[in-house]
Structures are given as structure tokens and as C-alpha cells.
Structure 1
Amino acid sequence: MFTLYALVIGPSGEVVARLGPFATAAVARGACTVEAGQMLLWTRREQDWVAELDGREYRVPAEPALDA
């Protein structure tokens, strides 16, 4: 099991908040939505889920793929 943290990054690139810990990326993305106060549109970038709103970037690490 992994522990994930979500980062809220301000317009100048500084981390303005760290949310967590969370058990899954889905729960972390939900917490970011609550913190933002409105729905966020998430896109996958390399190893992270990223959403942008009002100059802030919300970043959540993607969970590693499960071996089948």
C-alpha cells in the first residue's frame, strides 16, 4: 500500500499546500476538489495527475500499475 500526498502549487511555482496522506490517487484528487471549492478537470502527465485552476496547479502522483 502506498501513501500519497497532493501538492497545491502557486503561480510562481512554490508549494502552497500539501494535502494528505491518502491511500489512493482517487481519494487525493477528491480532496483537491474540496480544497479548490469546485470541480477540477484532471489530466495525466507522465507520473502525475494534474489539474489547474485560477493560477494554481493541483498535482497528485499516479499510483503504480498493478502487475496482472
Structure 2
Amino acid sequence: MPAIVGPVQIITVSGGVVQFGDTFFISPKSASKTISGSGAGNTGGFILTNNAISANNTLDTNLVDQPISGNN
């Protein structure tokens, strides 16, 4: 069934899906990589992290980590 969409103003889309009308399936894809130090991803009200030595391996020799272009 066709959809009639009136005037639309989208200011910001961040990490979401915007759909107008009928769709058979929606399959959004994204891939990202984050390198952070020891204890950097901790969340909470009171965090106590003791790190004597923390080192990150930022040398990434992989050309493609998560291929998403052919996964439609």
C-alpha cells in the first residue's frame, strides 16, 4: 500500500534509521573500532581503577576487520 508523506524536516540523524512508506526489510549496517587504555570504558557512580602499567597495541595490520559491503 503506498504511503503519502507530507512535509518533513530532519535536523539530525545520529545512529538511527529514517523510514518513509512501505519497506520489505530494513538492515542498517555499521562497523567501528575503538582503542582505549586500561579502565577507560568503566562507567558507574564510583570507580576506583589501579593500573601499574597499561599499554595499547595501536598498530593494526588488518586491512579489513569487518566487511559489511557485501552483506545485504
The answer, yes or no, to whether TM exceeds 0.5 is no
Q: Which has the higher contact order (CA 8 A, sep 6+)?
A: 1
Q: Which has the higher strand share?
A: 1
Higher-helix-fraction structure: 1
Tell me the TM-score range normalised by the shorter chain: under 0.3
Q: Based on CA coordinates, which of the two structures has the bigger radius of gyration?
A: 2
